[in-house]
Amino acid sequence: MMFITISPKQAEQYSYTCIRLKQMINKMCAARKTLEGIANASFDKSFSKCVYLFTSESLQCENEIRAQIESLSCFNYEDNNINSQKTSPANAINGIESICNYCEKAYLKPYKKLLSDKHIGNSLKSLMQNHLQLFMSSLTQLRLFNEVKTAAKLN
């Protein structure tokens, strides 16, 4: 059996990273639940499917962040801070453009902020960059859905 000791500086960095990841996952989970509420309330099946696709990708990213938290041995990780997060009421978000704006604030902005943090390791930044690309692609798909739907109504 091999024992690994870490320096106090490394322990401090791991702790900081854990806190940042916990904050990130709590925000993401709250945003995902808001989007799921919007999709559940929609009578437009195609629209709901697009939003559900985005939320399923969000859940995948949340799971990958949870795995990172576990790998950093963040023993005091609590996933119940979700209720304490301020979420936008689902009824205040109407239409695809307001959903895209909400997603930009809830996903893209926090990811970019985390990526600019000089205390976050390169391997974690690589994962975050991949997530950011995924969310940007998903937002593009949501916007294209709106354009296709608008074009179909005109024809």
Give the pLDDT band of residue 82 (cuts 50, 70, 90). very low
Cβ distance 24 to 16 under 8 Å? no
Residue 52 has pLDDT above 60, yes or no: yes
Q: What is the pTM of this model?
A: 0.81
Cβ distance 35 to 51 under 8 Å? yes
Tokens representing 99 are 């959903």
Note the pLDDT of residue 8.
Answer: 83
Note the pLDDT of residue 38.
Answer: 93
Residue 85 has pLDDT above 50, yes or no: no
Task: Please provide the DSSP assignment of the chain as one string.
Answer: -------HHHHHHHHHHHHHHHHHHHHHHHHHHHHHHHHHH-S-HHHHHHHHHHHHHHHHHHHHHHHHHHHTT-TT--S-GGGGS----GGG--SHHHHHHHHIIIIIHHHHHHHT-TTS-HHHHHHHHHHHHHHHHHHHHHHHHHHHHHHHHH-
**2-24 confidence digits (pLDDT tens):** 777 778 887 888 889 999 999 99
Please give the average per-residue pLDDT across 139-143, as a whole number: 90
Give the pLDDT band of residue 145 (cuts 50, 70, 90). confident
Q: Which of 80, 102, 79 lies closest to 89, judged by CA?
A: 102
- Could you give phi then psi for residue 109, rounded to 5 degrees? -60, -50
Note the pLDDT of residue 73.
Answer: 75
